Amino acid sequence: MNQPRFFIPNRVSEEVLQFLQQYGDVDYRNKEEQMAEEEFLDGLSKADALLCYSRQKINGRILEQAPQLKAVCNIAVGYDNFDLEELTKRGVMATNTPGILTETTADLTFSILMAAARRVAEADHYVKSGQWQEWFPSLMLGKDVFGATIGIIGMGRIGEAVARRAKGFDMDILYHNRSRKTDVEEKLGASYVSLEQLLQQSDYVVVLTPLTDETRKMIGEKELALMKKDAILVNASRGATVDEAALIQALQKKQIAGAALDVYEKEPVDPDNPLLKMPNVVTLPHIGSATKETRGKMAMKAARNAVAAVSGEVPENLLNEEVLQNMK
The residues carrying an active-site annotation are 238, 267, 286
Alpha carbons 73 and 301: distance in angstroms, whole number: 9
Residue 154 within binding range of ligand NAP, rule CB under 6 A? yes
Residue 77 Cβ vs ligand NAP, minimum distance, rounded to whole Å: 4
Give Dmax over CA atoms of the chain in angstroms. 75
Residue 244 within binding range of ligand NAP, rule CB under 6 A? no
Residue 223 within binding range of ligand NAP, rule CB under 6 A? no
* Footprint on residues 256-295 left by ligand NAP (CB under 6 A): 262-263, 286, 288-289
* Footprint on residues 87-116 left by ligand NAP (CB under 6 A): 98, 101-102, 105
* Torsion on CA atoms 45, 49, 51, 52, rounded to nearest 10: 40
Alpha carbons 231 and 203: distance in angstroms, whole number: 5
> How many chain residues bind ligand NAP (CB under 6 A)?
32
- Judged by CB under 6 A, the residue of 15, 124, 183, 214 near ligand NAP is 214
Residues in the chain: 328
* Footprint on residues 113-152 left by ligand NAP (CB under 6 A): none
Q: By CB under 6 A, which span of 44-52, 82-90, 177-185, 303-311 interacts with ligand NAP?
A: 177-185
- Judged by CB under 6 A, the residue of 210, 220, 239, 274 near ligand NAP is 210
Give the angle subtended at the CA of 314 by the CAs of 312 and 316, to the nearest 5°.
140
Residue 56 within binding range of ligand NAP, rule CB under 6 A? no
Give the angle subtended at the CA of 145 by the CAs of 78 and 195, to the nearest 5°.
50
Q: Which of 220, 236, 23 is nearest to 114 (CA)?
A: 236
